Amino acid sequence: MEINKGEKLKNGSEKLFDKFRERLALNGATALICANRSDIAAHIADIAAREKKDGGRPVFHLSAHLASSSASSIETAIGSIEGAYITKSILDDNGIYIVPASALLIEDGALAVDSALCAHEETLFGDICVLIADGAEIYNNIIDFFAAISAGKSSIKAHNITIIAGPSKTADIEKQIVTGMHGPKKLYCMVINY
Amino acid sequence: MKVSLFVPCIMNHLMPESAYSILNIFKKCNIDFSIEKDQLCCGQPGYNMGYCEHSIPFARKFIDLYSKNECDYIVVPSGSCAAMIKHNYPKLFPGENLEWLTAKVVEFNSFMHDNKFYLKLDMKYKGAIFYHKSCHLLNEMNIDREPKEMLGSIKGLRLIEALTHQNTCCGFGGAFSASFGELSTEVGIAKLEFIMENKLKDIVAGDSGCIMHLKSVAMARGYKLNFYYIADFLDLCSN
Amino acid sequence: MALFLKDKNIININKNAKKALADKTLQANLKKATAEAVFKRNQAAAVSETFESSRDIAIAAREASISMLRKLSDEFVENCVKNNIKCFVFDDYESANAKITDLIKERGADFIVKSKSMLTEEIELNRHLKLNGIEAIETDLGEFIVSLAGEKPSHLTAPALHKSRREVARLFSEKLDMPYSEDPAQLSYFARRYLRDKFMSARVGLTGANFAVSDSGLIAVIENEANARLAINLPQTHIAVFGVEKIIRNLNDLPHFLNLLSKSATGQLLNAYTSIIGPPAEGKERFFIIVTKRRFEIAADPVFKEALRCIRCGACQNICPVFQRLSGHGYEFCYGGPIGTVLAPFFIGYQKCAELIDASTLCGFCKSICPMKINLPALILQHRFHYGADKKIKKPLFKHLKKLFSYLHSLIMSNNVLSRVIQPFARLYFKITAAVFGRNYIPRWSVFSKRDFIGMAPKTFMESYFTKNKKKSREKEGDKNGN
């Protein structure tokens, strides 16, 4: 499927999404597509259930720059999970961080985060990082992405780019992959597509 | 088509039977061949040790010898020697036009393959063999498809090769094998152990240098393996 | 002509090989890790739509940047200044180390958090900082392990490749007083907790840079653990140290390099984190220390400039049959493997590298796997030529013997008469060794119980073929005469 560079994801782009999901999985992360509000609620509940350990209460941190419609869906979803709560403060080392992703790089199975919209700590701290691609720019690959940046066609400034492809990981002890080395253990990407 | 066969040193001194295999194949394919009686080494040892000046006398003799020969091809049954002549001779004599020579020199595998001679051999074999991709054949001459297609054409043969991440050099490396005896030997042992782990007994290689090295290791280790230079094997299968 | 038998200055590859080969854990780790790395690299390259095209584009981009390195370097510094980044360019290690030390001291720090940087290994920054009372805390897990053990990294991208989980467990429990565990996940978690405190309290974070973009005054840092992101973003001051060859032209070139590096180094489509670093955030400060040592000289060399294409992925190490056994430490130089062999003579001198430059089978797999298609075997060979031809290099005895051997080979074997005359003597030699040792013995070649020698044929092909043919033609002539 041809992509108009930087175009937003729209209906009929399922094939593209399949490839993205497959590539993100190769990078050790999970892509979830949300076609409506109840999908968001289901995925959030699912992620919270994974995080909840031994009766602990799932803690969510919502980034200030999430798109307003998806933010309100997410808040509602969290509200309906038993014991879950939302905090504005940056917590060290636990919690589920929900932050906006500004671009999707399909072939690389990666996302670009704009540090003008998201503090670095928000994608570094916490056990789980959930990137919300709501109205994100879409590119075939990193090459098209940087071409758009350097031509000034993207809304992201070069020096604000962090490209994230998978959770924090290491293989420094006997090549065994361990996630959550210095950053999150798990990475999810929710593509809001409605 | 007239062909002149160049016999590399290792083949000449240590395994003359492989050169005879080539001649057998040539006869079976009705190839009009000759051999230059005064041929010598191609000069690679000195070159790879870093002394170009010591390879110049060899190169000079090679060039002079074949400048009088009116053959269409000089068939060189070794990736190493072929690369030396084709790629390095022009560097040794920068002012000289050696295109006539580099165009004539052809490695045995690509000669047999590209001219489709191997199809005339009507080859049969029963069982599996391991094909060792000789380094210079593969990495210097980019000859990989050719031997595999030839071996693949043998009826009843199961061809096994190492995937890239399992594939290594046999450890020979010319002077390297003497300067770094232990390292070189360990590389050879690993190669053979990989083959035995895969329960294979028969090894075909594209360069006699590899055969010589692997055989030498197998002898000391007491490994019961059969080694064939590719021409030996093609000849064997076409009987 | 000065002859000397043993020179402690010469990197003794044979001795290092003996030591490495005797270490069975190291051998097993190396074998597994290197094979897996090559496998993953091939997989990633096969999945990618753009890997091969990026190779050609990146090579052209690098060739261009190498050819105008001085100009690019000036332009880069100018653009960094515009970005409120302070840049310092040094040609020698001492000045670079001194400047970094001063910057840290001025900020009243007695320790820094540091992410992986090969350049800091090259300039031996940690040793220098220690002498000045500053502790450099390595935060990449592999580097952390290696520094705890008081060792040096053994691989470009997997610095603790040589350590087993048991060794790491012992190290953590002894040096850090952590509960003993051999579980990599548990060990990683211990290190995370220990290092997170350091990150939170550090005043200065120090990183390397994978690429520096000239036209926009930015650097790119790639990693998987997120330690570099923490070191860059948490402390007040960020210092990045890198070699001038890291500078590329523009943002259009950059993604091709990122594409190649992640796949070649660790077989990932992209590394977990790619950070583009520019102007410091408000209230923070950023410094770039650029080291030019020897780089301009290499860039001006018509042959060796190719070596500056290297993006430090370590693929050539993974596929190298020598590295797979010798390990990074055996090279006694911060860069090991084929690329290390190519760079070493420039940085530590030819004299020390007498054995190193010979320690390659020239098999050429490194050339094929190198994302930047550096002709590594040809460059290693070029070092051998230079070594042999340069009379100023003080050479050890074994090198003179090697040259003598090469000379005698040339003298005898390039002569039609001598090369035939010597045959019976060679056969006699093997007859004697067979009688004495029970096998064909060649000094330096024969390794007891591991490698014999197949021996010489009773007659060379040329001898047997031409006597046969002579007979045949004589018979033919005889037939003719008979008729």
Summarised one tens digit per residue, pLDDT across range B2-60 is 999 999 999 999 999 999 999 999 999 999 999 999 999 999 999 999 999 999 999 99
The pair of three-digit structure tokens given for residue A97, joined into one six-digit string: 């961080």
Residue B50: CATH number of its domain: 3.40.50
Residue C356 neighbours by CB distance under 10 Å: 26
Look at strands B32-34 and C237-243 and give their pairing. unpaired
Do B148 and B181 have their domain in common?
A: yes
Strands (E) in C224-272, as ranges, are 237-243, 247-248
Q: Hey, are the CB atoms on B46 and C410 less than 8 Å from each other?
A: yes
Number of domains in chain B: 2
Spatial separation of the C-alpha atoms in residues B91 and B94, rounded to whole Å: 5
Q: What pLDDT was estimated at residue A1? A: 38
Subunits with 3+ Cβ pairs within 8 Å of C are: A, B
For residue A152, give how far its alpha carbon lies from the nearest alpha carbon of chain C (Å). 11
For tokens 């594939």, the residue is B167
Please give chain C's pLDDT, 483 residues, in tens. 344 545 678 999 999 999 999 999 899 989 998 999 999 999 999 999 999 999 999 999 999 999 999 999 999 999 999 999 999 999 999 999 999 999 999 999 999 999 999 999 999 999 999 999 999 999 999 999 999 999 998 887 889 988 989 999 999 999 999 999 999 999 999 999 999 999 999 999 999 999 999 999 999 999 999 999 999 999 999 999 999 999 999 999 999 999 999 999 999 999 999 999 999 999 999 999 999 999 999 999 999 999 999 999 999 999 999 999 999 999 999 999 999 999 999 999 999 999 999 999 999 999 999 999 999 999 999 999 999 999 999 999 999 999 999 999 999 999 999 999 999 999 999 999 999 998 999 998 999 899 999 999 999 999 999 987 777 766 666 555 544
Q: Which residues of C touch A97 (CB under 8 A)?
A: none
**CATH at A79:** 3.40.50.10420
* Range 29-48 of B in CB contact (< 8 A) with C: 35, 37-41, 43, 45-48
Same domain, B91 and B56: yes
Q: Which helix (H) or strand (E) holds A33?
A: strand A30-34
Instruction: Give the chain A residue nearest C234 (alpha carbons).
Output: A121
Query: Do A and C share at least 3 CB pairs under 8 Å?
Result: yes
Between strands A103-105 and A110-114, the pairing is: antiparallel
B92 shares its domain with B168: no
pLDDT tens readout for residues A53-101: 556 788 999 999 999 888 999 999 999 988 888 987 776 677 899 999 9
The closest alpha carbon to C51, from C251, C222, C252, C259, belongs to C259
Token reading at A157: 């400034």
Q: Where a domain ends, among B94, B114, B134?
A: B114
> Regarding beta strands B155-161 and B124-132, do their DSSP bridges make them parallel or antiparallel, or are they unpaired?
parallel
Read off φ and ψ for residue C246, nearest 5 degrees. Answer: -75, -10
Q: Does residue A130 lie within any of the structural domains?
A: yes
CA C278 to chain B, closest CA, distance in angstroms equals 39
Q: Which residues of C372-398 are buried (b: 16+ CB within 10 A; e: fewer)?
A: bebbbbbbbbbbbbbbbeeeebbbbeb
Question: Can you state the angle between helices B52-67 and C397-413, rounded to 10 degrees?
Answer: 10
Least Cα distance to B176 among C35, C350, C363 occurs for C363
pLDDT in tens, chain A (194 residues): 344 445 555 555 678 889 999 999 999 999 998 988 899 999 999 998 877 655 678 899 999 999 988 899 999 999 998 888 898 777 667 789 999 999 999 999 999 999 999 999 999 998 999 999 998 999 999 999 999 999 999 999 999 999 999 999 999 998 899 999 999 999 999 998 76
Q: Which of C407, C416, C460 sits opposite B54 (nearest CB)?
A: C407
User: What letter does residue B120 receive in the DSSP assignment?
Assistant: G
Chain C residue with Cα closest to A170: C225
The Cα–Cα gap between C67 and C236 comes to 36
Is C in contact with B (3 or more beta carbon pairs below 8 Å)?
Answer: yes
Last residue of a domain, one of B79, B94, B114: B114
Residue A68 lies in domain:
14-192
As given in the structure block, the two tokens for residue A180 are 């959550």
- Residue C437 tokens read as 């040792």
Q: Of the candidates B114, B146, B171, which is a domain's last residue?
A: B114
Which domain covers residue B202, as residue numbers? 122-237
Count CB-CB contacts under 10 A for residue C467: 11
Please give the residue of chain C at the shortest CA–CA distance from A120: C233
Residues of C in Cβ contact (< 8 Å) with A163: 270, 273-274
Say yes or no: B147 and B103 in one domain: no
Q: How many domains does chain A have?
A: 1
Both B50 and B139 in one domain: the answer is: no
Question: Which pair of tokens denotes residue C67?
Answer: 């050819």
- B neighbours by CB contacts (3+ pairs under 8 Å): C
- Token match 């040193």: residue? B9
**Contact between chain A and chain B (3 or more Cβ pairs less than 8 Å apart):** no
Q: Is B187 on the interface with C (CB under 8 A)?
A: yes
Positive or negative, the CA dihedral B105, B84, C370, C361 is positive
Interface membership of B163 toward C (CB under 8 Å)? yes
What residue type is C51 in one-letter code? F
Both tokens assigned to C328: 């990074």
Put simply, the answer to whether B51 touches C445 (Cβ < 8 Å) is: no
Q: How many residue contacts between A and C have a Cβ separation below 8 Å? A: 165
pLDDT tens across B150-195, in order?
Answer: 999 999 999 999 987 888 899 999 999 999 999 999 999 999 999 9
Within a domain: A156: yes
For residue C246, which amino acid is it? K
Residue A109 backbone class (left: φ over 0; alpha: ψ -120 to 50; beta: rest): left
Hey, of A93, A163, A168, A172, which one would you mutate to test binding to chain C, going by the most C CBs within 10 A of its CB? A172
- A49 lies in a domain? yes
Q: Does A72 touch chain C (CB under 8 A)?
A: no
Distance CA(B24)–CA(B235), nearest Å, equals 7
Of the candidates B55, B164, B179, the beta carbon closest to that of C42 is on B164
Closest by CA to C385, choosing from C373, C377, C374, is: C377
Which candidate in C48, C53, C248, C270 is best for mutational testing of the A interface (most A CBs within 10 A)?
A: C270
